[in-house]
Amino acid sequence: MNRRVLVVDDSEVTRAILARTLRTSGYEVLEAGDGAEGAMAALREQPAVVVTDLEMPTMDGFPLLRLLKADPASSHIPVLILTSHSEAASRYWSLRTGADAYLTKDHDPQELVATVARLVKKSAAVQRKLGAAPQERHAIGPVEVLARVARHLDASLLQATVVNTLLERGMEASDFHAAAEGALETLGQVVDAQFLALAVAELGSGLVQIQLQDPIRVTDVEMLADLLVGALSLPPEVPVEIRYAGERRGDVAVELDRALWLPLSLREAEGVLAVMPRDPHGFEPATEGLVESLTRHLALVLDNARLSQRLHELSTIDGLTRQLNHRVIYDRLSEELERARRYRYPLSVVLCDLDHFKEVNDTFGHLAGDAVLREGAAVLRRCLRSTDILGRYGGEEFLAVLPQVDLESARQAAERLRLGLEGTRVRLPTGSEVRITASFGVASRDDLPGLLTTDLLVSLADRRLYEAKAGGRNCIRP
């Protein structure tokens, strides 16, 4: 077993005391007077453990620690920080930077021996895992040591800057897709890639975001989307929303099997990141390592965006139909009515009530009723314009707000909704199917001249809805 211990301290007295304590316990002790000497000795001699002070001339303990933990030739060597600093910040930063243990110089000598013994065992276990072959010894000078430190510090600063930008873009995002797009744009600025893409699967839904850096041909983009969806292990019936950024209709062909695929560790979700290097030989090891190290931070950004979006939806979205809830649709109608009054443009509402809904519940059960509500809401949403606003008004009633639409155009819109529902067959959990119809009440701002309120407009649509139901259902009034 390797029992060499490297002691790095600028005080000869301290080194002598530590060396005597460790040699008495059977360890071979190597000595260095500062961080630069310590780095040279560690890379050359490959000790089992490095014991280092923090404050030293030429190069202190933190750069030494960073170099030893970042350089492949020494990353396996445990490091014990032994310093006069007892501040919590010093301990935190040492352990955060990679130190394996932290002691102050007023320690009990036996505590030092016990800690070194534990780290020697750890070093031996790592060596067994890596293989019995000893690490290659490097003879380097102080200039090379300082150059390596500078490179590692630059790499750390780059990573910290990218992480900070990722977090900023994530906090600014309004929803998950905005956070994903911002994150991929940030990564695209630091890696030379033809595309970056990610896919996330949650319970009952899938989300895919593709950032095209080059004008990739359509067939390859579609194949990439299929691969991302396939990586999510979702049942075929689960919807997956796919969004793109960048030029989708180019002529650049890509070999998708060259892409770097990395899993994303998400809370209660499955995720994957795909990055295609422009260089046909792949990414440089440093670039690939940077991308891999950033996936944890990317996952954090996406988790926070998902949580924020979920909390927003809980307060604004009806959980069953995925449309706006009563409070929000009413608030949105008030806003649109005020806007229509200010700019003198038309505004209409359509109040919809699913016919014979109670019979569905009584005959097939409440799960069947839930299925009818979900499918009915989805049909209504598909039949409306993207600028129209839809919400669940209550029970089996839905309210659609149609900005800049007069009464006659609103009647035509209601007819589209009626026909859409009439042509829908809903498959129930029992396996049977039911047909949906609905009755509609339509009202417009022009119906009630003067100071029209939200309550009056909805009340008029409600009266007309009941006229439609009294008129035989599956029809529109006026």
Q: Which CATH class is domain 4-140?
A: alpha beta
| pLDDT confidence of residue 146 | 60
The backbone region for 282, taken as left when phi is positive above 0, alpha when psi lies in -120 to 50, beta otherwise, is: left
* Helix, strand, coil percentages in the chain from 3-state DSSP, rounded to 5: 50, 20, 30
Instruction: With a cut of 70, say whether residue 269 has pLDDT above it.
Output: yes
Cβ(199)–Cβ(206) below 8 Å: yes
Cβ density class 412-434: b for 16+ within 10 Å, e for less:
ebbeebbebbeebebebeeeeeb
pLDDT at 145: 65
The average confidence (pLDDT) of the chain is: 89
CATH architecture of 158-314: 2-Layer Sandwich (3.30)
pLDDT score at 163? 84
pLDDT at residue 179 greater than cutoff 70:
yes
Q: Using alpha carbons, select from 430, 435, 300 the residue that is nearest to residue 365.
A: 430
pLDDT for res 155: 62
Question: Considering the chain, what percentage of its residues have pLDDT values greater than 70?
Answer: 94
| pLDDT surpassing 60 at residue 134 | no
b/e code 235-268 from CB counts within 10 Å (16+ = b): eeeeebebebbbeeeeeeebeeeebbebebebee
Give the confidence band of 452 by pLDDT, cuts at 50, 70, 90.
confident
Segments making up each domain of the chain, as ranges: 4-140, 158-314, 326-477
Is the CA virtual torsion 207, 312, 371, 478 positive or negative? negative
Average pLDDT (7-12) is 95
Residue owning tokens 């039949």: 383
pLDDT band at residue 385, thresholds of 50, 70 and 90? very high
Tell me the average pLDDT across 232-247.
Answer: 86
Distance CA 192, CA 147 (A): 25
Identify any residues that bridge with 261 across adjacent strands, giving them in sequence order. Answer: 274
Average pLDDT over residues 103-126: 91
The residue with greater pLDDT, 83 or 352, is 352
**For the segment 158-176, what is each residue's pLDDT rounded down to a tens digit?**
677 888 888 888 888 878 8
pLDDT at 456: 94
pLDDT for the residue 416: 97
Q: How far apart are CA 263 and CA 274, in angstroms?
A: 9
Residue 389 has pLDDT above 70, yes or no: yes
Q: Give the pLDDT band (50/70/90) at residue 128.
A: confident
Rounded-to-integer distance, Cα 183 and Cα 265, Å: 16
CA distance 346 to 341: 8
Would you say residue 40 has pLDDT above 60?
A: yes
- Give the pLDDT band of residue 243 (cuts 50, 70, 90): very high
> pTM for this one?
0.55
153 has pLDDT over 60: no
Return the pLDDT at 133: 47
What is 326-477's CATH topology? Alpha-Beta Plaits (3.30.70)
Query: Average of pLDDT values for 357-375?
Result: 94
Pick the more confident residue, 151 or 216.
216
Is pLDDT of 37 > 60?
Answer: yes
Confidence of residue 393 (pLDDT cuts 50, 70, 90): very high
What pLDDT does 217 receive? 92
- Peptide bond just before 236 cis, omega within 30 deg: no
